[in-house]
Amino acid sequence: MQATSSPLGPAPAPGLPLDTRLRPALRGTGSLHGLFCGLPSPALVEMAAFAGFDFVVIDNEHGTAGIETTEHLLRAARATGIVPIVRCFEADIARTLDAGASGVKVPMVNTPEHAQRLAERMRYPRPAGQMGSRGWRGSAFSTRAAGYGAFGGPAHTDRSNESLALIVMIETPEAVECAHEIAAVEGVDAVFIGPNDLSHTMGHENRWQEAPVQRAIERAVRAVADAGKCAGVLTLDDEARQRYAGWGARYFANVASSLVMRAFEQAAGRGGALRY
């Protein structure tokens, strides 16, 4: 659920398609609480908003939504005031941003060089000396993010460069080793440690609660926080959230399908064990 100290503030008034609250919040000091949503249902996005979560991660790495459905999920988020993030692959960054995401979360970032390339993909090129001048995002104002031309031009370019967030994911031992350097890349706003993939790449299969994996998560979280960036972790219960917050994390995400399955299993009398 949304914390009472959420740094997002009230949802912006209707008008611009983009919700620009995410990047300033990630660069602030408060905690953010949200959900991964891999099911292509606008109703689930609305439910996450009505429940009080700060953000929803539309999961286009493991989910089944195409770009048309993703755009509808983004509309549901904008209508209900929840901040929309899309987990997507590098090749899909441009059209995901054009559809109106407040930020993207990219999996399997193992080096600062990869993080730098992603940061440049996020930004439109600008005249020398201006923010985003190294960017190479393709420019078009016919998109939903620009109001189909109603809010195009330099104002849209600058708004996008200044407000859209890049969250990179650390999911391997190699990435943990250079977590500080990845986080320190200009244009990276947050670093999310993916425990399931990290556990698998460390040889522990899905047992990411085991001590060696938790030590790697702690090392990465502390390194990201030491770099002055927002550290994020998957958190399925309050105990884990408190532990990770103690290490310096302040961006926490649960999983919508896990919550739904647990509720169904409990209703069916099966007890619903926590799992991801």
Active site residues: 62
- Helix/strand/coil for 249: coil
Tokens found for residue 226: 């030491």
Q: What is the DSSP string of 52-85?
A: T-SEEEEETTTS---HHHHHHHHHHHHHHTPEEE
Q: What is the DSSP string of 144-211?
A: TTTGGGTT-SHHHHHHHHHH-EEEEEE-SHHHHHTHHHHHTSTT--EEEE-HHHHHHHTT-TT-TTSH
Give the distance from CA 15 to its chain's centroid.
23
